[in-house]
Amino acid sequence: MSDSYSLYSPDLPNDYCGRFAPSPSGHLHLGSLFTAYAAYWRSLEQQGTFLIRIEDLDFPRCPRQNIPLLCQELQLFGLHSDKKVRVQSEHLGEYQQAIQTLLSNDFAYFCTCTRAQSKEQPCTCWMANKQARIREKLARDPDTPHSCKVNITPYLESEELQSFTDVNLGEVKQSDLEHPLNPYLTLERADGIIAYNLAVVIDDIEQEITEVVRGADMLDATFLQLPLYELDSCEPPVFCHIPLITDSSGRKLSKQNHAPAVFADYTPRTSTLLCLQLLQESVYHELLQQEDVVTLLQDLEQCEASLTALITAEVSTQLQKKLQAQLRKLSPKEKDEALALLTPTGLTNMLLLVATQAQQAELVAQREDDDFLSDYDDDDEWADEDEDEDDDGVRENWPRAYYEGIATGTYGPWSKLLALWSTALGETSWQQAQELTATYYELLTRLHTEVIGPHFQVHALPKKPIVL
Ligand SMILES: [Zn+2]
């Protein structure tokens, strides 16, 4: 790699640690995969650590069964965490502890404003809360709903927080923000849910994150989070805000805006190349000039085509029929979501996923337990659950249980899907699928680590939203 790729990186420590922190609100969409790749490539370019964290504190929006699903999809698209995945809901004690400390230092206060009141006038509860006895009374009073907040006005008005230096955007001023910031920052909502900004700051401190790569829609949040670092007497990480991807009408691609699942339309290869092109068109075209990169991409494409060719029309019909039969017990909405994934690309992705799981399970089996694989066929483990089985002995509540099973290490439903695929493909093709998958991920890993990572140029990222 030539020196011309040296980066503009203000005060970056050598022990670089980056992260991607999605919410498990549903399938991965292109907007979040785009941010994930940017964060991953940046950590590769810095030869640092890359961590995945699951932000699931908004429980109603982020059902727990979605977590394994999300982890599987990230893995499918080539994204692995270098350390154990941190799941926020497993760290509630740490957030509570931080709130207690802020309360006992008189920084945090209880707020009894209703949502409507908060909109009409600034919260003044912090004044009343100056008296510890009022705080203590509220803390013990379950009948008066209250949230916990901190008044960060002095920080927002301080000279230091008028701006910060972003790795991609350069100097970002508070006065450039579209809306004024609300200085009464919620730490814990009245319904007991820990607020996003607090949790993120605690996590980034705990995980020793040195640089946060995230979407430019988080600029406001950055100004709100910086005071929390000061309150905690911690150095904030460096921030790098990347452009958002919007649809043609300028709306951000998000779950709320019904962005389609990446799974249905893009393979790991095509999504990687699309995101690289969208983020760094010049780098993308430059890489395509290099012979060894072109060869690598051709091999990868060939491997993908061979894998897809195994799913013949006959196999596809057989699978679609069986998979649809599994969906009977889902709600109409869940069923529609699941069916939307059964595209030709979705089936190729599913085969990649299933074959990878088969290999991983075999490794586990060799390592830990000779009888592990034979346990796959043992229905006893599932017999006392009140799920019906169809003629083939396949459980009907796929895909939820499938995703749950593979990620939690209980391989029951997963083994059924594996059986379904291996039966449909026949022994020879199933064997080929596993070999092709192993090769595919070897090539994909090389594409990320040897080609894209070292050439990734953070100062060449676009500054404006990208219209898809
Ligand atoms: Zn209030």
Whether residue 462 is contained in a domain is answered as: no
Q: What is the pLDDT of residues 162-188, one digit of tens each?
A: 999 999 999 999 999 999 999 999 999
Strand pairing partners for 214?
A: 241
Q: How far apart are CA 442 and CA 447, in angstroms?
A: 9
Q: What is the pTM of this model?
A: 0.86
Q: Which two tokens stand for residue 278?
A: 């969208």
Measured from the Cβ of residue 13, the count of other Cβ atoms closer than 10 Å reads 15
For residue 184, the CA-to-ligand 1 centroid distance in Å is: 8
CA of 352 to the centre of ligand 1 (A): 52
* C-alpha 56 to ligand 1 mean position (Å): 26
- 202 domain-assigned: yes
The tokens for 203 are 């996590």
Based on the fold, state whether residues 285 and 228 are members of the same structural domain: no
Yes or no: say if 102 and 187 are a contact pair by the CB < 8 Å rule: yes
Distance from C-alpha of 338 to C-alpha of 331, rounded to nearest angstrom: 10
Looking up tokens 């006992």 gives: 104
**How many structural domains does the chain have?**
2
The answer to the question of residue 461 being in a domain is no
Determine the distance separating the centroid of ligand 1 and the alpha carbon of 26, expressed in angstroms: 33
| % of the chain with per-residue pLDDT over 90 | 55
Q: Measured in angstroms, how far is the CA atom of residue 118 from the centroid of ligand 1?
A: 7
- Asked if the structure places residue 463 within a domain, the reply is no
Residue 394 has pLDDT above 60, yes or no: no
Specify whether 234 is located in the same domain as 293: no
* Residue 147 in domain: yes
* Same-domain check for residues 61 and 203: yes
Structural domain including 345 reads 262-450
Which residues are close to ligand 1, an ion, with C-beta < 5 A?
111, 113, 123, 125
Do 412 and 382 touch, CB atoms closer than 8 A? yes
In angstroms, what is the span from residue 185 Cα to ligand 1's centroid?
10
pLDDT in tens, 219-255: 999 999 999 999 999 999 999 999 999 888 888 877 7
- Measured in Å, residue 395 CA sits from the centre of ligand 1 at 51
Alpha carbon of 226 to ligand 1 centroid (Å): 22
Residue 128 Cα, ligand 1 centroid: separation in angstroms? 10
Expressed in angstroms and rounded, the spacing between residue 125 Cα and the centre of ligand 1 is: 4
Among the residue ranges 260-269, 291-300, 337-346, 399-408, the one predicted with the least confidence is 399-408
